[in-house]
């Protein structure tokens, strides 16, 4: 590798930058570019029918501005725009956006595609970066600025031929991130001078990191410099369009909002040229996790992620932020233990505060059953969580510790994730809940003179004993019958389900014959369960 062949992107010196001291309090204006920037990055671009399916999904999610394509680029793009308009598929509160280069015949064709639309954003652009000025177009700064001015004039002129529609003008200095920031201000200012926007009729100035070439903080400096040096700032909506070449598209967009930007362009799940566009899902959910309404309905990924995957032919990574299949899953034993304890203490009327879960998975229609999965890296908490969530087994800590090695062995033998059913079957088998050696036929329990008096029939034999409680009375009955002492170290019991038909389960921890044993039993009532659990430890 030869790092000496590269140079850092030059960004403005901004010693008094203000964006680090800002806090986000509301969602930006969102603009989806899935149908244009996302589509052009596909090996097999979408058909009109696929575009319509994605369009319907974007509308359902709540986007109010949707870039539908480059109508002058191909007949398919043109036909898609016409179909949306002629079939009245555009809701009154949704504005379509189209992209066009600063060339007259393309601008004219674009307006033909939009004839009859209620409202639309016409997005014109030309490149301004040093490398493209010098090596692609071989033009001077003055030449590039003149191209932008002329493009703005053509956009304005053709709009006047269609007064039946409400037009919003948008300009992008392509490759803003690699353009001298003061020059980008100069060009955009010249475009504004043509359009003469007002605070009540604003234009959009879109600042693209067409190729991400610097760190997010330095891009935020570029944005803040641009905004603070622009005249009539109140007459422009400042939009950001970042790409993910350095893996920081979301961070750059988020910091740009702190720097004063109003609007964000991006795609769902980040599809786009090269490494992709800014992922609107990630940024929207970042805001949501801080208590800010993203103003997009992303609550059911299982309904919209498959649509994105179908039309793009791109699978969503299992670790994709917020919506990946595995992002709310813990395998680590310590993580599982922390999650389980936090969920037990989390109250419905309190702000969400659960270790390792930045949001409540239920907000994205994910159930808790998938949060903790048991494998060879899991500790006692993982197995306990699954048995609690799936089978209503609230295992005491001493049962968790006793069963953990069993779960570990199963996981190692399976060589991967242990299913809930495998775990439950192992629990039943290990504690002999399916085949007790001692059968409780009947029992009678009464209280006399402050003592519990117990008579039990086990395997056809009758035992009798007394004590301070049911278990101590049964221990006394066993000692009278065999001469062997049994000490109850701990016990627990609970109903398995709510309702009158619920069964009970009891857990008993005893010392018997110089060894500590655990007995567990299920029965129709609590007393039967306790008796059966203790019997399982001594038979």
pLDDT tens by residue, 66-119: 999 999 999 999 999 999 999 999 999 999 999 999 999 999 999 999 999 999
Q: Are residues 33 and 58 in the same domain?
A: yes
**Strand duo 451-458 + 461-467: pairing:** antiparallel
Q: Are residues 350 and 382 in the same domain?
A: yes
Together in a domain, 114 and 195 = yes
> At 506, is the pLDDT very low, low, confident or very high (cuts 50, 70, 90)?
very high
Whether residue 500 is contained in a domain is answered as: yes
Query: DSSP assignment of 232-275, as one string?
Result: TGGGEEEEEEEB-TTS-HHHHHHHHHHTT--EEEEBGGG--STT
Both 260 and 353 in one domain: the answer is no
Are the C-beta atoms of 163 and 115 separated by less than 8 Å? no
Work out the pLDDT band at 38, boundaries 50, 70, 90: very high
Residue 399, CA atoms < 13 Å, CB-side half-sphere:
27
Number of domains in the chain: 3
Residues facing residue 122 across a β-bridge:
98, 169
Residue 271: what pLDDT? Answer: 97
More confident residue, 377 or 203: 203
Q: How many CB atoms lie within 10 A of CB 303?
A: 14
Q: What are all long-range contacts of 481-486, with beta carbons under 8 Å and residues at least 24 apart?
A: 484/512, 484/513, 484/538, 485/512, 486/510, 486/511, 486/512, 486/534, 486/537, 486/538
Read off the pLDDT band of 370 (50, 70, 90): low
SS3 call for 44: coil
Residue 395, in any domain of the structure: yes
| Residue 94 within a domain | yes
Overall average pLDDT of the 269-287 stretch: 98
What's the rounded Cα separation, in Å, for the pair 131 and 10?
13
Determine the number of helices (DSSP H) and then strands (DSSP E) in the chain: 17, 14
Please tell me whether residues 154 and 241 are part of one structural domain. Answer: yes
Residues 152 and 286 placed together within one structural domain of the fold: yes
Same domain, 413 and 451: no
CA dist., res. 226 & res. 224, Å (int)? 5
| Res 369: pLDDT | 58
* Domain range enclosing 347: 333-430
If you ran DSSP here, which 8-state letter would residue 37 be given?
I
481-508 core/surface letters (b: 16 or more CB in 10 A; e: else): eeeeebebeebbbeeeeeeeeeebbbbb
Q: Which pLDDT value is given to residue 218? A: 97
Mean pLDDT, the chain, rounded, equals: 92
Within-domain flag for 11:
no
Q: Which long-range contacts (CB under 8 A, 24 or more apart) does 399-402 make?
A: 399/507, 399/509, 399/518, 399/520, 402/518
Q: What is the pLDDT of residue 474?
A: 85
Residues sharing a CB contact under 8 Å with residue 501, sequence separation 6 or more, in sequence order: none
| pLDDT over 90, % of the chain | 71
Q: Are residues 70 and 201 in the same domain?
A: yes
* pTM for this predicted structure: 0.81
Q: By mean pLDDT, which of 3-12, 163-172, 180-189, 370-379 is the weakest?
A: 370-379
Judge if 353 and 502 occupy the same domain.
no
Q: Which one of 410, 430, 450 terminates a domain?
A: 430
Q: Is residue 322 part of a domain?
A: no
Strand partners, 456: 443, 463
Q: How far is CA 379 from CA 75, 128, 225, 279, 430, in A?
A: 60, 57, 52, 35, 17
At 44-73, the pLDDT tens digits run 999 999 999 999 999 999 999 999 999 999
Same domain, 371 and 411: yes
Q: Are 413 and 449 contained in the same domain?
A: no
Greater confidence, 285 or 530?
285
The Cα 445–Cα 457 span in angstroms is: 12
Residue 118 lies in a domain: yes
State whether 380 and 495 are in the same domain.
no
Which CATH number goes with the domain that contains 51? 3.20.20.70
Domain boundary among 376, 401, 430: 430
| Residue 320 located in a structural domain | no
Confidence of residue 241 (pLDDT cuts 50, 70, 90): very high
Query: Is 121 within the bounds of a domain?
Result: yes
| Among candidate residues 78, 70, 165, the one with its CA nearest the CA of residue 113 | 78
Decide: 383 and 407 in contact? Cβ < 8 Å: yes
504 has which bridge partners?
495, 523
Give, in order, the Cα–Cα distances in Å from 138 to each of 55, 128, 142, 253, 479.
39, 12, 12, 31, 102
Q: Where does 70-226 show beta strands of DSSP type E?
A: 95-101, 119-127, 166-174, 203-209
**How many Cβ atoms from other residues are within 10 Å of residue 26's Cβ?**
10
Q: Is 30 helix (H, G, I), strand (E, B) or coil?
A: strand
Q: What pLDDT is attached to residue 504?
A: 92
More confident residue, 277 or 524: 277
Q: Count how many Cα atoms sit within 13 Å of the Cα of residue 9 in the half-sphere of its side chain.
A: 25
> Pick from 430, 458, 486: which residue ends a domain?
430
């Amino acid at each position: 590798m030869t790092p000496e062949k590269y140079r850092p992107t030059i960004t403005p010196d901004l010693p008094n930058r203000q964006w680090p001291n800002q806090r986000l309090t509301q969602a930006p204006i969102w603009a989806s570019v899935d149908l244009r920037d996302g589509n052009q990055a596909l090996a097999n671009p979408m058909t009109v029918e696929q575009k319509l399916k994605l369009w319907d999904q974007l509308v359902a999610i709540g986007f109010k501005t949707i870039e539908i394509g480059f109508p002058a680029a191909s007949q398919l793009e043109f036909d898609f725009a016409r179909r949306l308009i002629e079939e009245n598929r555009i809701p009154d509160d949704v504005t379509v956006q189209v992209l066009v280069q600063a060339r007259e015949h393309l601008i004219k064709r674009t307006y033909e595609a939009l004839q009859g639309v209620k409202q639309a954003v016409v997005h014109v652009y030309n490149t301004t970066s040093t490398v493209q000025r010098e090596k692609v177009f071989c033009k001077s700064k003055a030449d590039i600025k003149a191209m932008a001015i002329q493009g703005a004039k053509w956009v304005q002129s053709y709009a006047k031929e269609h007064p039946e529609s409400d037009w919003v003008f948008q300009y992008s200095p392509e490759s803003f991130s690699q353009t001298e920031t003061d020059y980008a201000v100069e060009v955009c200012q010249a475009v504004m001078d043509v359009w003469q926007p007002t605070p009540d009729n604003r234009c959009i100035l879109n600042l693209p990191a067409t190729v991400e070439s610097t760190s997010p903080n330095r891009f935020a400096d570029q944005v803040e410099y641009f905004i603070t040096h622009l005249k009539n700032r109140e007459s422009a909506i400042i939009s950001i369009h970042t790409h993910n070449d350095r893996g920081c598209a979301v961070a750059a967009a988020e910091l740009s909002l702190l720097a004063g930007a109003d609007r964000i362009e991006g795609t769902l799940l980040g599809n786009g040229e090269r490494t992709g566009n800014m992922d609107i899902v990630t940024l929207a959910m970042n805001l949501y996790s801080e208590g800010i309404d993203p103003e997009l309905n992303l609550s059911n990924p299982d309904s919209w992620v498959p649509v994105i995957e179908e039309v793009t032919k791109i699978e969503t990574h299992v670790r994709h932020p917020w919506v990946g299949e595995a992002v709310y899953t813990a395998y680590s034993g310590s993580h599982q233990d922390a999650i389980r304890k936090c969920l037990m203490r989390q109250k419905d009327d309190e702000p969400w505060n659960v270790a390792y879960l930045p949001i409540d998975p239920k907000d994205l229609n994910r159930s808790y059953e998938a949060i903790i999965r048991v494998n060879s890296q899991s500790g006692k908490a993982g197995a306990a969580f699954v048995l609690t969530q799936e089978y209503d087994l609230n295992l005491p800590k001493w049962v968790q510790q006793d069963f953990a090695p069993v779960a570990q062995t199963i996981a190692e033998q399976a060589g991967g994730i242990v299913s809930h059913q495998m775990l439950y079957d192992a629990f039943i088998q290990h504690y002999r809940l399916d085949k007790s050696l001692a059968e409780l036929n009947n029992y009678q329990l009464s209280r006399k003179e402050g003592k519990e008096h117990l008579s039990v029939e086990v395997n056809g034999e009758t035992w009798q004993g007394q004590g301070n409680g049911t278990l101590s009375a049964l221990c006394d009955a066993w000692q009278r019958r065999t001469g062997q002492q049994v000490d109850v170290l701990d016990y627990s019991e609970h109903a398995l389900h709510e309702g009158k038909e619920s069964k009970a389960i009891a857990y008993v921890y005893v010392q018997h014959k110089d060894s500590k044993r655990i007995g567990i039993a299920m029965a129709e009532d609590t007393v039967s369960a306790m008796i059966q659990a203790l019997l399982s430890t001594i038979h």
